[in-house]
Amino acid sequence: MAYRQGLDAETVLQAAIEMADLQGVEQLTLAALAAKLNVKTPSLYNHIKGLPDLRKQLSRRGLVLIKEAMVEAVIGKAEDDALLAAGFAYVIFARKQPGLYEAISSLPDYEDPELKEAGSQVVLFLLRILEPYGLSEEDALHVVRGFRSMVHGFASLEHRNGFRMELERDESLRRLLQTYLRGLRIAVN
């Protein structure tokens, strides 16, 4: 295999994202990635530090993109409508980018500063959505944790074919989020 002109860190990461989305992040290997890029495996080390570094990059990119998806979904919305839109954006991201979502769900190093920062940005965004509810910081963080548990659980069950009934999944998600929002309203008042 000859050196592939134009190969850079972004090209390597994009190829890894494609592979992870098709096969799963755990099945991603440097040998398979090199084959996809038509290079020898050692050539990848010009652009990444190894498989752990690549997985970290996938996790970071996933966190950045899921936040962007939620931000875009909530533009022009507030309070319940914003949280509902963020919840749908979260699950839709998991549907469209299952490998990146898997990378988010299995962060390789919770203490890595880049991953910590990217994760913090997601939390801060959700906290901003919650500001109109007038919650204390601690209460708002509990709401964010509950919100993430719900949408992650839904996305994970859906990904693993846990919803086999002939029933509209988006309607189930809507009802789940609306029930959570009603509970939040009761807790706030």
- Within 8 A by CB and 6+ apart from 114, the residues are 56, 60
Residue 2 confidence (pLDDT) = 41
Q: Using CA atoms, how far apart are residues 7 and 41, in angstroms rounded to an integer?
A: 13
Query: How confident is the model over 122-174, as pLDDT tens digits?
Result: 999 999 999 999 999 999 999 999 999 999 999 999 998 888 888 999 999 99
Distance CA 9, CA 15 (A): 10
Residue-level pLDDT at 185: 87
Q: What is the DSSP string of 88-149?
A: HHHHHHHHH-HHHHHHHHT-S-TT-HHHHHHHHHHHHHHHHHHGGGT--HHHHHHHHHHHHH
Please count the other Cβ atoms lying within 10 Å of the Cβ belonging to residue 32: 15
Q: What is the pLDDT of residues 18-45, one digit of tens each?
A: 999 999 999 999 999 999 999 999 999 9
Amino acid identity of 138?
E
What distance in Å separates the CA atoms of residue 126 and residue 149, rounded to the nearest whole number?
13
- Between the alpha carbon of residue 133 and those of residues 79, 126, 144, the distances in Å are 7, 12, 13
SS3 sequence, 63-88? HHHHHHHHHHHHCCCCHHHHHHHHHH
